[in-house]
Chain A
Amino acid sequence: MIILSNVHKTFPTGTQGLTDISLAIDKGEFVFLIGGSGSGKTTLLRLLTREMTPTSGEIRVADVPVHAISESKVHTLRKQIGVVFQDLKLLMDRTILENVLLPLEVAGVSINQAKARAEELLEKVGIQHHKDKFPIQLSGGELQRAAIARALTLSPIILLADEPTGNLDDATAESILSLLQAIHEEGTTVIMATHNMNALKKYPHHRVITLEKGTLAKDTKKKDAKGDTHGSA
Chain B
Amino acid sequence: MAAHRKTMWFHLRRSPYQACAAILMMSITFLMMTAFSYLLVGSHVLLQYFESRPQVNIFFTNETSQSTIDALGEDLRANSVVSSVTFVSKEQALAIYREQNKDDPLLLELVTEDILPASLEVTTYEAADLRPIADALAGNPAIQQVVFQRDIVERLAFWLSALRQVGIAIIVLLAIESLLVITIIIGIKIAQRRNEIELMQLIGATKGYIAAPFVYEGILYGMVGAVVGWSIASGFLYYYAYLIEQSGFFAGIPVLPVPWELYAIVFGAMAAVGIIFGYAASMIAVRRYFRS
Contacts and interface: CB of A to CB of B under 8 A. Distances in A.
Contacts of B201: 75, 78
B202 A106 contact: no
B200 A89 contact: no
Contacts of B205: 75, 106
Interface string A139-171: 000000000001000100000000000000000
A106 B204 contact: yes
A117 interface: no
B110 interface: no
A93 B202 CA distance: 18
Contacts of A154: 204
A89 B202 contact: yes
Interface residues of B, number: 15
A75 B206 contact: yes
B204 A85 contact: no
Contact of A91 (B3, B195, B202, B204): B195
B209 A78 contact: no
Nearest to B14: A93
B199 A89 contact: yes
Contact of A103 (B14, B198, B204, B206): B204
Contacts of B199: 89, 91, 102
Contacts of A93: 14
Given A75-B206, A93-B14, A102 B200 contact: yes
B15 to A, nearest CB: 12
Interface in B192-232: 195-196, 198-206, 209
Nearest to B206: A75
A69 to B, nearest CB: 13
Contacts of B202: 49, 51, 78, 83, 85, 89
A163 B2 CA distance: 35
A149 B196 CA distance: 17
Given A105-B3, A111-B2, A91 B203 contact: no
B209 A106 contact: yes
A225 B13 CA distance: 52
Given A93-B14, A105-B3, A111-B2, A78 B203 contact: yes
Given A85-B202, A91-B195, 8 more contacts: A75-B205, A78-B203, A83-B202, A89-B195, A89-B198, A89-B199, A91-B196, A105-B3
22 contacts: A51-B202, A75-B201, A75-B204, A76-B204, A77-B204, A78-B201, A78-B202, A78-B203, A78-B204, A83-B202, A91-B195, A91-B196, A102-B200, A102-B203, A103-B203, A106-B200, A106-B203, A106-B205, A106-B209, A107-B204, A108-B3, A111-B2
Interface of B: 2-3, 14, 195-196, 198-206, 209
